[in-house]
């Protein structure tokens, strides 16, 4: 990527992060998925692209323009999309199929479960509009997809943080033999992680910031907000560790345990329902080993979300950095009161 900027040098922040430019704006990359898929396609002629009438809105159009003979438009038929993808995988191709989260999971779950997961077909499902990245309401907001995909045996599940990780994840799953579900960030995608130093590893969490008072465990685009919350907390003398878990399955249990066995105040942050996603995965890990922690899950509550602008929705459902920092402060305040009593 050409729009790189200087590394952060603030206390506790690793060299894998980028800071804002002098205007306070965040650097972005245009259509990182599409360009990464083109590069993968240039290396491997078995890679093909498919979409269900959403080429422009999932950045698949970049691949289609470069490889028109390797691109398949199946129309508004998501079950057919995944059935065709599974068939192509059976004949030796590596299909990348794009649609929206809600369409890939709710409309075509059985086709994913049987056509891809059961037989370990080499299908890559790239799903747009994850969580609250659209204001179009419950029909388009993918708030339960991670829970559905985590429940499927043999399925690898990835929620990238930014353009850097999205590009690297595409490269990794192109070389991985098996079904993958990857949440898509499209269009102008923020660059949070330094492409010169950050390295995505399938199934591995990354500690992006050290801290000793509270642990913020995040996935997907909420990692940027967790980092912003950690900066807010540091201004009031609270040191927050930030552990980024881009792979929800297989889950990096050891990284979680290594962190929370020393920091027992834990906040999970995800652009998803608090049921079945990252918060549930962390709770499963710590309870299985009998580790006692204080856990606060931040995510979408048990509801279908409203329509509206993204900033409005993020604040309404307390997924902004200020709300994350406030939750951490409340946890530490409660702990202090309990210790005094």
Tell me if 28-190 shares its fold with 206-340: yes
CATH architecture of 206-340: 3-Layer(aba) Sandwich (3.40)
**φ, ψ at 100 (rounded to 5°):** -90, 155
Reported as a pLDDT band with limits 50, 70 and 90, residue 338 is low
Q: Residue 130 corresponds to which tokens in the numbers above?
A: 């994850």
What is the total residue count of the chain? 341
pLDDT score of 22: 34
* Mean pLDDT score, 15-42: 80
Reported as a pLDDT band with limits 50, 70 and 90, residue 4 is very low
**Domain extents for the chain?**
28-190, 206-340
pLDDT score of 18: 73
User: SS3 sequence, 185-221?
Assistant: CCCEEECCECCCCCCCCCCCCEEEECCCCEEEEECCC
* d(C-alpha 173, C-alpha 37), whole Å: 10
pLDDT score of 334: 77
pLDDT score of 1: 41
CATH architecture of 28-190: 3-Layer(aba) Sandwich (3.40)
* Mean pLDDT score, 4-16: 47
With beta carbons less than 8 A apart as the criterion, state whether 311 and 132 touch: no
* d(C-alpha 341, C-alpha 330), whole Å: 17
pLDDT score of 225: 97
pLDDT score of 16: 80
For 141-166, letters b (16+ CB in 10 Å) and e give bbbbbbbbbbebeebbbbbbbbbbbb
Task: Summarize pLDDT for 63-75 with one digit per residue, the tens.
Answer: 999 999 999 999 9
| Three-state secondary-structure class, residue 240 | strand
Find, among 94, 184, 133, the residue nearest to 313 by Cα: 133
With beta carbons less than 8 A apart as the criterion, state whether 243 and 259 touch: yes
User: SS3 sequence, 5-48?
Assistant: CCECCCCCECCCEECCCCCCCCCEEECHHHHHHHHHHHHCCCEE
């Amino acid at each position: 990527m050409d729009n790189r900027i200087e590394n952060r040098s603030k206390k506790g922040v690793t060299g894998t992060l980028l800071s804002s430019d002098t205007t306070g704006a965040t650097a972005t990359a245009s259509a990182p998925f599409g360009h990464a898929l083109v590069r993968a396609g240039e290396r491997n002629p078995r890679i093909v692209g498919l979409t269900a009438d959403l080429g422009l809105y999932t950045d698949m159009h970049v691949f289609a323009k470069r490889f028109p003979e390797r691109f398949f438009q199946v129309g508004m038929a998501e079950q057919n999309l995944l059935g065709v993808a599974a068939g192509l995988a059976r004949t030796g191709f590596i299909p990348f199929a794009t649609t929206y989260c809600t369409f890939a999971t709710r409309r075509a779950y059985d086709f994913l479960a049987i056509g891809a997961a059961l037989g370990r077909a080499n299908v890559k499902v790239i799903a747009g509009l994850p969580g609250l990245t659209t204001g179009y309401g419950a029909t388009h907001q993918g708030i339960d997809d991670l829970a559905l995909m985590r429940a499927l045996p043999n399925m690898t599940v990835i929620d990238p943080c930014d353009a850097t990780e999205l590009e690297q994840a595409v490269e990794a799953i192109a070389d991985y033999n098996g079904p993958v579900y990857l949440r898509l960030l499209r269009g102008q995608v923020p660059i949070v992680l330094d492409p010169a130093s950050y390295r995505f590893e399938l199934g591995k969490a990354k500690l992006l910031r050290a801290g000793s008072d509270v642990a913020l465990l995040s996935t997907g685009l909420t990692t940027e907000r967790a980092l912003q919350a950690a900066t807010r907390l540091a201004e009031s003398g609270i040191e927050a560790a930030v552990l980024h878990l881009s792979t929800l399955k297989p889950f990096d249990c050891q990284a979680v345990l290594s962190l929370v066995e020393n920091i027992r105040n834990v906040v999970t942050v995800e652009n998803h329902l608090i049921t079945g996603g990252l918060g549930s995965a962390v709770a499963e890990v710590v309870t299985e080993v009998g580790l006692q922690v204080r856990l606060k899950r931040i995510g979408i509550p048990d509801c279908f979300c409203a329509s509206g602008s993204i900033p409005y929705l993020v604040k309404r459902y307390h997924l902004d950095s200020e709300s994350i920092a406030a939750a951490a402060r409340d946890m530490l305040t409660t702990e202090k009161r309990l210790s005094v009593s």
